[in-house]
Amino acid sequence: MASNEKQSVTLNVNGEDHHLEILPWVSLLDALRERIHLTGTKKGCDHGQCGACTVLIDGKRSLSCLTLAVMKDGSEITTIEGIASDGTLHPVQQAFIDHDAFQCGYCTPGQICSAIGLLNENKANTREEVQDLMSGNLCRCGANKGIINAVMAVKQGMS
């Protein structure tokens, strides 16, 4: 197959299958934003350094700007739009509100997805671990203390 031929992929995004014909070099981020029209996942640096594009793939956090969409054919992808359930916020979303864990909000979707992923991975056991594991998502805005507090509050509620 020539590299300029579109490929068929099915992405299960937020519980709904999306059948796409895309070029092999299209990032998951661009497929989500431009083809599926889910713009909650943000394009920040487009180099995997800022974490604004973090989504959950099969429950694990992943940088969608560095992930080719064709590689995730059949995967279960959760974006910020799929986190709340039946109008009820996910505990991490509620904790972000309760702990004032955002400022401008641009990076918040990626931070929430990353926090949920590290909780799913059972890796957020101490403040230091949260700070280290969220280092690719922690923003320069100064909300880091609130983010760490929010993740720890959810972790303690899960225990």
* Structural domains for the chain: 7-82 (3.10.20.30), 91-158 (1.10.150.120)
**Residue 27 neighbours by CB under 8 Å, 6+ apart:** 64, 65, 66, 67, 68, 69
**Residue 107 neighbours by CB under 8 Å, 6+ apart:** 42, 44, 50, 51, 52, 137, 139, 141
* Per-residue pLDDT reduced to its tens digit, 79-108: 999 999 999 999 999 999 999 988 788 889
Average pLDDT of the chain to the nearest whole number: 92
Weakest mean pLDDT among 26-35, 59-68, 95-104, 134-143: 134-143
In whole angstroms, give the CA distance from residue 2 to residue 23. Answer: 10
| Pairing label, strands 76-78, 7-13 | parallel
pTM of the model: 0.91
- Whether the pLDDT of residue 40 is over 60: the answer is yes
